[in-house]
Homo-oligomer: A and B are copies of this chain.
Amino acid sequence: MAKELKNFTKREDNYSQWYNELVVKADLAEQSAVRGCMVIKPYGYAIWEKMQRQLDDMFKATGHQNAYFPLLIPKSFLSREADHVEGFAKECAVVTHYRLKTSPDGGGVVVDPEARLEEELIIRPTSETIIWNTYKNWIQSYRDLPLLVNQWANVMRWEMRTRMFLRTAEFLWQEGHTAHATKEEAEEEAIRMLNVYAEFAQDYMAMPVIKGVKSANERFAGALETYTIEAMMQDGKALQSGTSHFLGQNFAKAFEVTFMNKENKPEYVWATSWGVSTRLMGALIMTHSDDNGLVLPPKLAPLQVVIVPIYKTDEDLARISAKVEPLVAQLRGKGISVKYDDADNKRPGFKFADYEVKGVPVRLAIGARDLENGTVELFRRDTLEKESVPFEGIEERIVYLLDDIQNTLFRKALEHRERMTVTADTYDEFKEKIEKGGFILAHWDGTPETEEKIKEETKATIRCIPLDGDKTPGKCMVTGKPSAQRVIFARSY
């Protein structure tokens, strides 16, 4: 490894520090001058762009359109929906003035006290309120429904303890906000988008997820039901990776949004909202990466293949380049993103280390000896395996390899999750097992009180009530009261 990449903390020594170092060393993001806000660096942003593009295609394929609503929300809007204000009004950025002026003492600028807003504005922590205030004008009749809108935007929540990607004051996300004529349609939509998220997580991020329903305690502020996809990180902690909310008629009532139904009678509109954020970057990193740096599933890697020439003389380089350039063109023709790194101001060893820490899935190295032998050195980032293979037919091998890496990463993550998923039938057993991390399937009596007690005593929360799998009833491990099915407990991010 090159010099600046050494001294990488190992996962088993300090998982949290390993993550923080990795984010910086792989050039993904860094802290900014503004508390709790990060700078997403070009390499990190390129991964986010690949996620965005794929999700956006999936949203459009399910009939959604993008739009854009204001960044700022009048303070009074937050109070309209009783649960919502509880959840979101507390820690948020408040705009109170609209002008600065030169400081009277001549040094810099100060807030102009005369430019105070009549009503303060909040930087959106989420946009249900301003969007439903807008939908009031868009919806009159059942013919205007369903309304299937998504927004890509920045939002802000004044978090006290922040970690890059996982929890930042400002973050990037998409928020879907849909309006429907019936309860059934809205519920179907919430499930449809949960499935889109699960498909994206599994097929693109190579990250297995469990689809489920949140308990009342963990529900979105203002929702009747919150659906979630939950993933397990390598340290056995859960990470909530996307949520989809059935909002009932709560926001329609708060903002007076009614429609004339087919019988020409007014009814309140039914709603959903759903979102994923740059938090997925944290999930992606923590699912696959290792002590050598980032590991990326090929479908989300900005650079899938890198080719490094090993040479001493300009003549060697010319011969290697002549051999490599047609391969680069062939790979690009197959839609593979490839870079031929013949920069002469960095040594091959430095390049190897840099691409390794950045998680480029496949690396080829080719030298004068390879030219003679008709070979090339092939390195796969996920298993760190290196082998000398024939140059002939290398492009088919790469196509196969990218596919294999994608599948291997998913299988590995799934095996890890299965290994780290256990059941507990008594509270003592639970307390012992939770210390080892992972998901614990246990019976719960369905009350917020019991959930709260478990959380206080063990720091574990109910991640979800799984939609699929074993539905056998039982008895609550804490109270002995009836339980409809086992639910998933874990400590979480």
**A42-B66, A100-B78, A133-B33 given; A95·B123 CB < 8 A:** yes
Inter-subunit contact B40/A68 (CB<8 Å):
yes
From residue 133 to 149 of chain A, which have CB atoms closer than 8 A to chain B? 133-134, 137, 143, 149
**A75/B92 in contact, CB under 8 A:** no
So how many copies of this chain end up in the complex?
2
Task: Tell me whether B39 and A78 are in contact (CB under 8 A).
Answer: no
Which of A100, A123, A153 lies at the interface centre, i.e. has the most chain B CB atoms within 10 A of its CB?
A: A100
A316 to B170, CA, bound (A): 56
List CB contacts (< 8 Å) of A30-60 with chain B: 30, 32-34, 37-42, 45-46, 48-49
A65 within 8 A of B: yes
Instruction: Give the segment of A83-91, A179-187, A244-252, A383-391 that binds chain B.
Output: A83-91
- Do A79 and B65 touch (CB < 8 A)? no
Contacts of A93 in B (CB 8 A): 72, 95, 97-98, 121
* A447 interfacial contact with B, CB 8 Å: no
Complex partner residue of A40 from B46, B67, B156, B172, CB under 8 angstroms? B67
Q: List which A89-131 residues lie within 8 A (CB) of chain B.
A: 89-101, 107-109, 111, 120-123, 130
**CB–CB B46/A65 < 8 A:** yes
B68 touches A96 (CB 8 A): no
A30, A42, A153, A172 — most chain B CB neighbours (10 Å): A42
**A15, CB-defined interface residue at 8 Å:** no
Compute how far the CA of A381 lies from the CA of B153 in the bound complex, rounded to whole angstroms: 34
Contact yes or no, A67 B39, CB < 8 A: yes
Contacts A30-B137, A72-B170, A121-B34 given: A67-B45 contact, CB under 8 Å?
Answer: yes
Chosen A-B contacts, 15 in total, with CB atoms closer than 8 Å, are: A32-B130, A32-B134, A34-B70, A37-B72, A70-B170, A71-B71, A71-B123, A75-B100, A90-B100, A93-B98, A93-B121, A94-B95, A94-B97, A95-B123, A123-B123
Q: Which residues of A contact B (CB under 8 A)?
A: 30, 32-34, 37-42, 45-46, 48-49, 65-79, 85, 89-101, 107-109, 111, 120-123, 130, 133-134, 137, 143, 149, 153-154, 156, 158, 170, 172, 345
